Structure 1
Amino acid sequence: MHQGGKGNKKSSSSSTSSFMFALFQRIRQTDEKTQQGQDSTHSEVHDHLNPSPRSSSSLTPSPPPPSSMADLPQPDPFPEKSREGDAGAIFVLESKGTWWHAGFHLTTAIVGPTILTLPYAFRGLGWMVGLFCLTTMAVVTFYSYYLMSKVLEHCEKQGRRHIRFRELAADVLGSGGMFYFVIFIQTAINTGVGIGAILLAGECLQIMYTNLSPDGPLKLYEFIAMVTAVMIVLSQLPSFHSLRHINLGSLLLSLGYTSLVVGACINAGLSKNAPKKEYSLDPSKATRTFDAFTSISILAAIFGNGILPEIQATLAPPATGKMVKGLVMCYTVIFFTFYSAAVSGYWAFGNKSTSNILKSLIPDEGPALAPTWVLGLAVACVLFQLFAIGLVYSQVAYEIMEKQSADVSQGMFSKRNLIPRILLRTFYVMFCGFFAAMLPFFGDINGVVGAVGFIPLDFILPMLLYNMTYKPSRSSLIYWINMSIMVVFTGAGIMGTFSSVRKLVLDASKFKLFSSDIVD
């Protein structure tokens, strides 16, 4: 569901690689310093909370053992007081939610129509490797989001509550460059998701239209314009918290269309018109390798989030324990939807799976492979959920706009704040809609966004932030688990970027601006 362009992907990969190398150097230097004077089996946080007992034979209390600078409360570079005039924090990221609201937001951010791309991702992996990679991504992302929630809770307990990913990274890593690096990656992801949501919603309308009127004159870009108009209206909902009921509906819609699509795939696989099932990989070793890394990048994009700190910011403080409950809710939905869609779709269509399994169920030639009412209802559910997804991923852009343009002393709905909000959000949605109509390259873009965007934010930075915050011993298991994940996914991100860009280049001849067909 993510969208982007072709330019500068290699430089993005190089930038990501250089940032990760510098960060690994920094964590190694920090660990060497903090190891001195610290028990090898305990973290600094444990030492701070459990100081060495005083000698009972002393007549006067002996002073506690000296602390390292890391034990002392650190100054907050983004203090709460500085947010008193921050409209992005007060209006858009208002903290009123409960753990189940966080679960709704997380589910909408992760469980979307991109799950209909899972059979397509399996094309480059096969059955065994595909299921292994799917499970690995699920375990690693849950672990990653759990670690990030613990880092956020730790900072909050120390009086440094962070409501933005970029502020958290800059505080913990102590680098102003990380602030802008995270802004760049988040902007690329969120804009890409916004473009992709509008593009897929337009395709859903086109699917319904062509079934009702096969020779109708309307083109894909016209349906995209209709979706954009609806998104402009919905974009005026003022805050992330105000989306909680919409995101509950999104959760139910994801369960609904997944059930319908799984049933349709099983029906298609058993029908007499079913395509021949072929699960073999490409005979060329080089092509197989590139296809595998492209598929891994697509899986990373599907499991990606990239806005967890902003979601946690919507929780009413204290946030301790609430985010973990929200994650459990989210991953319960993920287990049902992701596995059922991947297995049923790949079983039914094998190597003929397209980047949207609905298109496999409605082939260009021959009869539909599922009842029309089932497909129509599934497409309608996908369409409505795409509006929710577009809204969720727009919140970071909106809070940046609001921070710069709004005046908190005037009130959220005052004329002074309402007019700039309407104009800026309308312009942003129109920008996304224009690029969705101009560049309908949905399948190929997923891999690029996953490699360049989601892998750094969701598979590398959370582990690094945890190691820098809690400073586990270099001999501890958690330290090496985190380091291993960072190294493996840094490599996967670099290879995924090259393989995804390669596929873009190979498919370039199929690309047409303002095309009526989305390139698989």
Structure 2
Amino acid sequence: MSKGEADTPNQHKISMAVHQNGTSTDNNDDHASSSTDNNNLYMTSASNVDRLNAGAKFVLESKGNWWDAGYHLSASMAAPTLLSLPFALDGLGWVPGFLALTIATVVSFYAYTLISKVLEQAELEGHRFLRFRDVAGYFLGRRWGYYPIGAIQIALCIAAAVVCVLLGGESMQIIYQIYKPNGSMQLYEFIIIFGILMLLLSQLPSFHSLRHINLASLVFCLGFSLCVVGGSIYVGHSKQAPAKSYSVEGSSVSKMFTIFNSLAIIILNFGIGIIPEIQATLAPPVSGKMFKGLLICYAVVISTFFSVAGAGYWAFGNASAGNILINLTPSGGVALIPNWLLFLANIFVIADLFAVALVYSQPIFEIFEGRLSSVKSGKLSMRNVLPRFIIRSLYVSFATVIAAAFPFFGDINAIIGAFALTPLDFILPFLLYNVTFKPSIWTIKFWLNYVIIVVFTIVGLMGCISAVRQIVLDVSSYKLFANV
């Protein structure tokens, strides 16, 4: 389109939005940007369109159906981190613990439904957001939306990958110790093995290409949850059942920090942080598809979260570990459950962790490949395959080294989880919905959204403080490449 031709209404609307957000561009740039499904509101010259959009076109290709979105959502939320939920109940008790789980279930489902509606409305107006940073930049501007949200999401995705590699190594070590209790292999060796396997799987070229792996991860999640529930019930009724208490112990100050730490763990489990990227994998039009995908996801979440939390806490009470599998693992004593059941649970966990790590790696892959790949060459051309292999191999190697060197990264991840997931999943969806649809100040929805923002902001901040306090308490036991 030439410079003198008139904008279409949608092009004019997008152009005005770009200028209102403080981005300088000319008409030709606006027209080039709005001519592709993978456009970026923050392009500054027509010459870099291919370079900036290669990651979105290849990694976030839009080919999926609503059930594919359900698999992606399930893999990103119903992950092995749910094995920490009995420990979260330890700091809250039965009634407050299940009340917190129920509230988190309802609020998170509501939040993801709202942000999905925001993305659908943007598509109806002529623009499709593919990345969280684009959504935030559109509404909040480059300085307050695009860069901060991009940085927060990058930190979240890297932390998730590191933790998955670490947990995968720990589960491999548990299996090794079952059959070779006096073996000489160290934790960092298992982490490296997991990292090598993940490096091979990371070469799958797009988010959409993970759909079958993520379907399998849904089955794996149900599998290890069933093993944990069955194992906990077995332990609770056995003669070797450990003594347990359900009272929340400690001083008033200690109890307060424990409560917020438990709430932060629950928020971490219900957080996703990559909803726009998952919705980007859907073939347009996307209207209604994410809601159906969320129904699949929450069917898995409700059936696993509540059962694992209840059974694990019932069996071990205040002795519940941060990973309930540790309670079921023999440590110099009599095994509490049959070895085959513990083996099976850890196999399911390992398999599921590969899927989770790959899902949270996609936004990172999109960023780097968007700058080093070319849309003029095919996705599987040598021009793009070679940099893809190098980028992803370096990234997975980095995550593996960090996991091996800092096996206490779970404590650090608690801070990142509270700091990142709270704004991405429990603040921005409600803020963006109110800005987009402008519900009347006299409606319940308007005030409900802002009440949720305030409450979860407080919980997130206190969760960060509690996590820092826990690091200070544990710092004396931190050692590089420790065999924990």
1:419-430 to structure 2, matched below 5 A, reads 419-430=386-397
4+ residue runs over 3 A deviation: 72-84
Match of 2:103 in 1: 136
SS at match of 2:264: helix
Say yes or no: does 1:160 pair with 2:115: no
- Displacement of 1:219 after TM fit? 0.3
CA distance in 2, matches of 1:440, 1:80: 47
2:175 to 189, 208, 213: 208
Say yes or no: does 1:405 pair with 2:372: yes
- Tell me, yes or no, if the aligned pair for 2:260 and 2:459 is still in contact at 8 Å: yes
Match of 2:268 in 1: 301
- Displacement of 1:212 after TM fit? 1.2
- Tell me, yes or no, if the aligned pair for 1:301 and 1:449 is still in contact at 8 Å: no
Instruction: Supply the AA of the counterpart residue of 1:332.
Output: A
Deviations 1:295-340 (A, max 9, x none): 1111111111000000000000000000000001100111100000
- Displacement of 1:434 after TM fit? 0.4
- Displacement of 1:413 after TM fit? 1.5
CA distance in 1, matches of 2:166, 2:142: 36
- Tell me, yes or no, if the aligned pair for 1:410 and 1:416 is still in contact at 8 Å: yes
CA distance in 2, matches of 1:365, 1:417: 51
Deviations 1:368-422 (A, max 9, x none): 1111111111110110111011100000000001100001111112111111111
Deviations 1:425-456 (A, max 9, x none): 10000000001001111542343122111111
Say yes or no: does 1:506 pair with 2:468: no
Match of 2:300 in 1: 333
- Tell me, yes or no, if the aligned pair for 1:257 and 1:379 is still in contact at 8 Å: yes
Deviations 1:124-157 (A, max 9, x none): 1111111111111111100000000000000000
- Tell me, yes or no, if the aligned pair for 1:254 and 1:382 is still in contact at 8 Å: yes
| Gap regions ≥5 residues in structure 2 | 1-11, 19-32, 41-48
- Displacement of 1:107 after TM fit? 0.1
CA distance in 2, matches of 1:277, 1:486: 37
- Tell me, yes or no, if the aligned pair for 1:193 and 1:390 is still in contact at 8 Å: yes
1:447 to 414, 433, 436: 414
Say yes or no: does 1:218 pair with 2:173: no
Say yes or no: does 1:126 pair with 2:93: yes
Say yes or no: does 1:235 pair with 2:202: yes
Distance verdict in 2 for CA 1:176–1:515, change over 3 Å:
same
Match of 2:64 in 1: 97
- Tell me, yes or no, if the aligned pair for 1:299 and 1:450 is still in contact at 8 Å: no
- Tell me, yes or no, if the aligned pair for 2:85 and 2:266 is still in contact at 8 Å: yes
Match of 1:357 in 2: 324
Instruction: Supply the AA of the counterpart residue of 1:294.
Output: N
Say yes or no: does 1:318 pair with 2:281: no
TM-score for both structures, normalised by structure 2? 0.90
Match of 2:34 in 1: 79
1:472 to 434, 439, 442: 439
CA distance in 2, matches of 1:451, 1:402: 28
Distance verdict in 2 for CA 1:90–1:265, change over 3 Å:
same
Match of 1:53 in 2: none
Instruction: Supply the AA of the counterpart residue of 1:269.
Output: G
1:392 to 340, 359, 376: 359
Figure out how many residues of one structure are paired with residues of the other and give that number.
446
- Tell me, yes or no, if the aligned pair for 2:163 and 2:413 is still in contact at 8 Å: no
Match of 1:286 in 2: 253
CA distance in 1, matches of 2:335, 2:416: 32
SS at match of 2:206: coil
- Tell me, yes or no, if the aligned pair for 2:139 and 2:145 is still in contact at 8 Å: no
SS at match of 2:376: helix
SS at match of 1:320: coil
- Tell me, yes or no, if the aligned pair for 2:408 and 2:478 is still in contact at 8 Å: yes
- Displacement of 1:363 after TM fit? 3.8
Give the structure with higher Rg (CA).
Answer: 1
CA distance in 2, matches of 1:431, 1:80: 37
Instruction: Supply the AA of the counterpart residue of 1:170.
Output: G
- Displacement of 1:282 after TM fit? 2.0
2:222 to 230, 233, 255: 255
Say yes or no: does 1:195 pair with 2:162: yes
CA distance in 2, matches of 1:443, 1:361: 20
CA distance in 2, matches of 1:386, 1:419: 26
SS at match of 1:409: coil
- Tell me, yes or no, if the aligned pair for 1:80 and 1:161 is still in contact at 8 Å: no
CA distance in 2, matches of 1:349, 1:388: 29
CA distance in 1, matches of 2:477, 2:237: 32
Match of 2:46 in 1: none
CA distance in 1, matches of 2:204, 2:188: 25
2:424 to 445, 454, 457: 457
| Gap regions ≥5 residues in structure 1 | 1-71
SS at match of 2:346: helix
- Displacement of 1:172 after TM fit? 2.0
CA distance in 2, matches of 1:212, 1:382: 18
Say yes or no: does 1:267 pair with 2:222: no
SS at match of 1:107: helix
